[in-house]
Amino acid sequence: MILKHLKYTIATSDNELEQIIQLQQKNLAASISQSEKEKEGFVTVEHDFDILKKMNDQQPHVIAKDGDLVVGYTLCMTADFGNDIPVLRPMFTKIEHSLDQTKTYIVMGQVCIDKEYRGQGIFRGLYQKMKLELQEKYDLLITEVAANNLRSLKAHKAIGFKNLLVYKSDEIDWHLISWNWV
């Protein structure tokens, strides 16, 4: 796919949030084959519209758009949502117990690029826009990546994320990683 009118911005409409959900559905671990998971990566958490909108109302998500089409996203999640998504509770507990309490942080709740748009720098572009939008409010960007999602781990390390810790939850090994903006 050749990019025509790519722009990085924040989600401002219900239509954009619906497109995020559609893109997420196509890339859930349960929606793709094992070989595709290994080659392309995957997303773990499935959001419904209400929680996605609440998150966006508090801190807008960063999206990549080709014209009117959302082709990539990074979800922004403040600590207030630590109990709202059950699979993420262990992550927020680990953050609370391992992070210097003087540091302010935002959690990147999920990143996804449409398959047809991968390999064109959109992942890096989304994170650069995220940093530009949020570095005045937060010291760190934190996320976690499943240890078996090697493509995602490699991509995050390449833009500057470092391991905070590795832990096991629900039989999955997770890398809790952060990108220091100060």
pTM (global) more than 0.75:
yes
Q: Specify if 1 maps to a domain.
A: no
pLDDT value at 179 more than 70: yes
What gap in Å lies between CA 62 and CA 111, rounded to an integer? 9
- Stretch 37-55: mean pLDDT: 80
Judge contact between 146 and 44, C-beta under 8 A.
yes
Q: What percent of the chain has pLDDT over 70?
A: 91
Q: Specify if 62 maps to a domain.
A: yes
Q: Give me the pLDDT at residue 3, please.
A: 56
Q: Specify if 15 maps to a domain.
A: yes
What gap in Å lies between CA 95 and CA 179, rounded to an integer? 14
| Residue 25, CA distances (Å) to 35, 79, 85, 136, 172 in order | 18, 24, 17, 32, 21
Q: Give me the pLDDT at residue 31, please.
A: 72
Q: Specify if 69 maps to a domain.
A: yes
Q: Give me the pLDDT at residue 63, please.
A: 98
Q: Specify if 51 maps to a domain.
A: yes
- 62 vs 86, residue with greater confidence: 62
Host domain of residue 160: 6-180
pLDDT, tens only, 130-157 = 999 999 999 999 999 889 888 889 999 9
Q: Specify if 28 maps to a domain.
A: yes
The mean-pLDDT minimum among 6-10, 51-55, 93-97 falls in 93-97
Q: Give me the pLDDT at residue 76, please.
A: 94
Q: Specify if 24 maps to a domain.
A: yes
Per DSSP bridges, beta strands 62-66 and 162-169 are unpaired
What is the domain-level CATH number for residue 12? Answer: 3.40.630.30
What φ, ψ does residue 42 adopt, rounded to 5°? Answer: -165, 165
Count the domains in the chain.
1
- Put the strands of the sheet holding 69-77 in their side by side order: 6-10, 62-66, 69-77, 105-113, 140-146, 172-180, 162-169
- Stretch 165-173: mean pLDDT: 89
Q: Specify if 18 maps to a domain.
A: yes
Mean pLDDT taken over the chain:
89
Q: Give me the pLDDT at residue 50, please.
A: 94
What gap in Å lies between CA 30 and CA 84, rounded to an integer? 21
pLDDT value at 17 more than 70: yes
- 84 vs 71, residue with greater confidence: 71
Q: Give me the pLDDT at residue 130, please.
A: 96
